[in-house]
Amino acid sequence: MTAPAIAYNFAYLDEQTKRMIRRAILKGIAVPGYQVPFASREMPMPYGWGTGGVQVTAACLVPEDRLKVIDQGADDTTNAVSIRRFFQRTAGVAVTEATADATVIQTRHRIPETPLTEGQILVYQVPIPEPLRFLEPRETETRKMHELEEYGLMHVKLYEDIARHGQIATAYAYPVRVEGRYVMDPSPIPKFDNPKLTANPAIQLFGAGREQRIYALPPYAEVVSLDFEDHPFQATKAAHDCDLCGAKVSYLDEVITDDAGGRMFVCSDTDFCAGRRARGLIGRLGGDQKSSKTFANSFQGIWPGTEGAP
């Protein structure tokens, strides 16, 4: 671990800014699913790279925390590495890849497979917090629609999907209704993850830096994915098992292994997958020489001469 840089305050942001963010978080928790405007700061990473999540994490962190950062479910994707390093450098907190050991988890696009527990905080990076944005581009209008609980437009959109495609054609960022009140964008998680949102013992915080919004789900909040009685919500995933650990219930990434249609499916949650393999659970291609970390570089003929090639 690197020593915290002296020039900056703990977790980079100054205390007044953290206080302002914490107030927004508390308001968000008090009004679940409501988008609280906050004075988002310019961070040393670009908008769109998780500045909202980073600010929320910075406001939540205490020196005793153990931080986990994932992107696409993986701890070792470049941006997850970069954000984890940022907090190692500026806050000096312990980091972990184990979901169960983490006190704060910052995520982009996934909810970990391992169920979260009380006392944990899950921080989502959010690009467009407004679930109605692609139906109505104006913020002034969508705020009014939330105020008036005017969500008919969203139901019409879902209905039109069914009329046109026979099903709701939204695969990720699938809209939810929180505690029977606010319609909320769960961030671009696959809809496979939506059922994990509801009655979750952890605190779930959503930060959108560029759009200057924070919203939250308190523990055990009721979160319902929008649907119709005759077209109930369905969580979907690739109809395969993980080729590395054999898991049947985890969300899978599809990896192209050659240019002749070859592919394999692997858990997107690297900690979940590694944990299963450590317990001896092996999938179709999960010989023990492969881990999800090294297998990416292990395709002979396509990516020759890199480390980890078998």
Active-site residues: which are they? 33, 242, 245, 267, 273
* CA distance to 54, 55, 94, 304, per residue, from 64 (Å): 18, 18, 8, 43
Report the C-alpha gap between 229 and 250 in whole angstroms.
27
For residue 178, report the phi and psi dihedrals to the nearest 5 degrees.
Answer: -105, 125
Chain Cα centroid distance, residue 275: 20
292 binds other proteins (CB under 8 A): yes
| The one segment of 98-106, 135-143, 216-224, 279-287 that binds other proteins by CB under 8 A | 135-143
111 binds other proteins (CB under 8 A): no
Q: For other proteins, which is the closer residue by CB, 163 or 180?
A: 163
For residue 176, report the phi and psi dihedrals to the nearest 5 degrees.
Answer: -130, 160
Of 222, 211, 205, 208, the residue nearest 25 (C-alpha): 205
Which listed residue (73, 131, 175, 207) binds other proteins by CB under 8 A? Answer: 73
| The one segment of 97-105, 107-115, 175-183, 216-224 that binds other proteins by CB under 8 A | 107-115
106 binds other proteins (CB under 8 A): no
Which listed residue (92, 150, 179, 188) binds other proteins by CB under 8 A? Answer: 188
Q: Quick count: other Cβ atoms within 10 Å of Cβ 85? A: 13
> One-letter amino acid identity for 210?
R
| Site size toward other proteins, by CB under 8 A | 66
Q: Quick count: other Cβ atoms within 10 Å of Cβ 113? A: 21
**Smallest gap from residue 93 Cβ to other proteins (A):** 18
Is 48:83 a contact under the CB 8 Å cutoff?
no
| The one segment of 58-66, 205-213, 217-225, 276-284 that binds other proteins by CB under 8 A | 205-213
| Nearest-10 crossing angle of helices 15-30, 51-60 | 100
Which listed residue (199, 238, 249, 278) binds other proteins by CB under 8 A? Answer: 238
User: Which residues bind to other proteins, rule: CB under 8 A?
Assistant: 8, 12, 14, 37-44, 46-49, 51, 71-74, 76-79, 81-82, 108-110, 127, 138-140, 165-167, 169, 171-173, 188-192, 210, 212-213, 236-238, 251-255, 268, 292-294, 296-297, 299, 302-303, 306
